[in-house]
């Protein structure tokens, strides 16, 4: 597990670079890596969430040119998605907020929808 000893900045940066070069990831993740130098971690019909190497989380609508700082709710979603989809970013996994509800899909056992956490960030229904 050598990668876990690298700094978060280095781990995110190398993922961004792999996306930018098209070595891995989807087209939208490559686009985000190229345009924003950030790691695309979550996308739905409304837009995408991305994590920059400094750990900040941005959100972007698909029809928007700019990304902007994500709300707290979406930030939790982004960090959960990042830790679930990129094993080397496991330590980004968010704490469960007191207001979080159990995942209605898996009832707490952890599934793709809740990023394996068993609970849902407020921004997901
Ligand atoms: Zn679930």
**DSSP conformational letter for 67:** -
What's the 83 CA to ligand 1 centre distance in angstroms? Answer: 15
Ligand 1 (ion): residues with CB under 5 Å are: 103, 105-106, 111, 113-114
What is the per-residue pLDDT for 122?
A: 79
Model confidence over 8-41: pLDDT tens digits?
999 999 999 999 999 999 999 999 999 999 999 9
Report the DSSP beta bridge partners of residue 40: 50
Evaluate whether 60 touches 68 at the Cβ level (below 8 Å): yes
Residue 118 CA, ligand 1 centroid: distance in Å: 5
Which tens digit of pLDDT belongs to each residue from 37-92? 999 999 999 999 999 999 999 999 999 999 999 998 899 999 999 999 999 999 99
Q: How far, in Å, is the centroid of ligand 1 from the Cα of 22?
A: 30
């Amino acid at each position: 597990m050598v990668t876990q000893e690298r700094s978060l900045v280095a781990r995110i940066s190398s993922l961004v670079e792999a996306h930018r070069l098209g070595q891995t990831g989807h087209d939208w993740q490559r686009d985000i890596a190229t345009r924003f130098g950030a790691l695309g971690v979550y996308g739905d019909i409304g837009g995408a969430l991305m994590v920059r190497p400094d750990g900040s989380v941005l959100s972007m609508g698909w029809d928007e040119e700019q990304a902007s700082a994500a709300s707290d709710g979406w930030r939790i979603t982004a960090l959960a998605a990042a830790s679930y989809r990129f094993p080397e970013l496991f330590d980004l996994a968010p704490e469960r907020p007191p207001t979080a509800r159990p995942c209605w899909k898996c009832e707490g056992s952890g599934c793709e929808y809740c990023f394996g956490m068993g609970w849902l960030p407020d921004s997901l229904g």
